[in-house]
Amino acid sequence: MLRCISMSKFQRIKTDILILGAGGAGLFAALHAHQANPDLDITICAKGLIGKSGCTRMVQGGYNVALGNGDSIERHFMDTIEGGKWLPDQDLAWTLVETAVTRIHELENEVGCFFDRNEDGTLHGKAFAGQTFDRTVHKGDLTGIEIINRLMEQVWARPINRLEEHRAIALIQEENGASIAGVLMIDIRSGAFVMIEAQVVLLATGAGPTMYRYHTPSGDKSMDGLAMALRLGLPLRDMEMVQFHPTGVLAGIDTRMTGTIIEEGLRGAGGYLLNGNKQRFMHNYDELAERATRDIVSRAMYREMRAGRVTPEGGLYISMAHLGPDKVARQFKGMVERCADCGFDLAGGLVEVVPTAHYLMGGVICDPTTATERPGLFVAGEDAGGVHGANRLGGNGVANSTVFGGIAGDVMPQWIAQNPGHRTPDEEHIKHEMHRALNPFSKPTGDLNALRDQLLQLMWDDVGILRDRPGLERAADKLGQLQTDLLATGLAGNGDDLGVRSFNLTWHERLNLESLIDISLVVTRAALKRENSRGAHFREDFPQAGELDSSTFTTIRQLDGKLDVTTQPVQFTRLRPGQSLLGDNLDEKTS
């Protein structure tokens, strides 16, 4: 029986455009929407501080864009499609590479990013793995900071409403269920509910596979956007595609630094990976050894760990000293300093590392205008699926968020012009979602830390780098049990008391776990469905890639509380496997 919780009093706000998330996608959407129609009331919300939470800021590599001089958008497109193992939605990928050119000019000329230059004063493009041209525009190795700082300044300088430390908990449908009417949020600081009614909503919360024992994304990410989309019945695609980065820091239990990236350039520069016996092992797996691609190195490392040849903390080592500690300290200054702050000597000693969950290629299905199937709801950035297919190229992440965030900002005012007016929210839906959020306060307290540990460990063990049917089925069972256990695990205090809910991080961790478990189950079911190995997804029981020409992608939606899992054929709208847009080898590589 539902406990009666008094929640009749909550704040209601009306805005025209509501943007969830304040990374590259959200900030760009706000700027473009304001530019398109300055009369519209625009509100941008972030779970943390605007521009500071999320992962755009953490971009080290840079921004892939074809700026000519031998490069072309066709070449960038081919690299993206090949990298994605022919699974990307080709119209989305084309929109990415084409619009990236305008977007980088906008970032440099209008937003004020000051990218690094060649000696002749033109933009410098650096080499990045998996690409046939040095097209990654950057600002040192802190490109994300430059992009996000400049974007947030531009947003501060405009009459755009900013709601910081506001967490979205549900996309609220309109009374008749046809479209959405707004978003139910929690003001984290006060603990109060806030219902924001909006004519359009952009979902740009940045996904983030933090349900793995080792993960790179920022601590505030917990798949909230995708969990909300799933509950609303929206279809998600490619959800089995979780990218692992080979080298994350391994510092032991209760350390936030564990899982954070040790940059890829170290291996490129000649760094060694050593097992627990302090011996190199990568040449046993691939002739390129440490310089093989992310997915190959991650799988080899996982196999070495599974064979038990591990370090004291259960990982492997990265070793740079043979290249000369002074040289390493100069060349990788930021990384060496970060390790030193945490007590590790990267330049001269051994640092324990482990592969780490980095990026979710899957997401909400959308078209190149960022529209979802639900009228009034748009999606951009890591919450959206289909751009990267089975693997994302380094440098395509921030291009993706800024390109499609900007497009959403262009499109949403047009949509409002054609479909003006706010829609009446479904009050029963609001009540139901508030009740769901407050539910933990009506249950006996339990061990939330143990539940989190179980989730992270089972996803790492059974839905991680190497997968097979028994492991995935075991995971699906355990996740079902975890869902049940979590719903029975409560929080201290009276949930009616705002003082109890104010800045209560443990309440939010509880809500995070709900989103993470829901999406973990989706990832597991998608991984079961794909019986081949493509890009980031590797099935030990189906190690072959399968025929490219008949490629399919997985889709999942929630229907009547159950996950409906299907596959759809990839539409090769621009070219088929074996074909190329590059004149020099057009049709020559078919075999």
Partner 1 sequence: MNSSIKVTIWRGAQIGSYQSYDVPQRDNQTVLDLVSWLQRHVVPDLAYRFSCRVGVCGSCAMTVNGRPRWTCRTHVSKVVKDGTLKIGPLANLPVIKDLAADMSPFFDQWHRAKGSFVPSAGRHDPMARVKPGSPRRQAADEAIECINCGVCYAACDSVRWNADYLGPAALNRAWTLINDERDGGNDARLKAVSGLGGCQACHSHQTCEQLCPKALNPAKSIAGLKRRALSAFLKGAL
Residue 322 falls in the annotated catalytic set: no
CA atoms of 61 and 259, how far apart (whole Å): 18
58 vs 365 by CB, closer to partner 1: 58
Write the DSSP string, 352-389: EEEEEEEEE--EE---TT-B-SSTTEEE-GGGB-SSST
Contacts within 8 Å (CB) and 24+ apart, 433-436? 433/169, 433/170, 433/172, 433/184, 434/5, 434/7, 434/10, 434/184, 434/193, 435/2, 435/5, 435/7, 436/169, 436/170
**3-class secondary-structure state, position 569:** strand
**Shortest reach from residue 263's CB to partner 1, in Å:** 11
**Shortest reach from residue 397's CB to partner 1, in Å:** 15
185 vs 241 by CB, closer to partner 1: 185
46 vs 234 by CB, closer to partner 1: 46
Whether 83 contacts 89, CB under 8 Å:
no
7 vs 49 by CB, closer to partner 1: 49
User: Cα 215 vs. chain centroid, distance in angstroms?
Assistant: 11
CA atoms of 436 and 446, how far apart (whole Å): 18
**Shortest reach from residue 261's CB to partner 1, in Å:** 8
430 vs 491 by CB, closer to partner 1: 491
For 59, half-sphere exposure in the C-beta direction (CA atoms, 13 angstrom radius) is 30
**Shortest reach from residue 584's CB to partner 1, in Å:** 28
**3-class secondary-structure state, position 318:** strand
CA angle, 281 then 284 then 290, to 5°: 55
String of b and e for 135-157 (b: at least 16 CB within 10 Å)? bbbbbebbbbbbbbbbbbebbee
CA atoms of 170 and 184, how far apart (whole Å): 5
102 vs 481 by CB, closer to partner 1: 102
Active-site residue among 267, 299, 534, 557?
267
**Shortest reach from residue 367's CB to partner 1, in Å:** 23
Active-site residue among 245, 429, 510, 534?
245
Residue 267 falls in the annotated catalytic set: yes
Which residues are near partner 1 by CB under 8 A?
Answer: 48-49, 52-55, 57-58, 102-103, 105-106, 108-112, 114, 116-123, 139-140, 142, 144-146, 149-150, 153-154, 156-157, 189, 218-220, 251-257, 260-261, 338, 341-343, 448-449, 491-493, 500, 502-506, 509
Residues with a catalytic annotation lie at: 245, 267
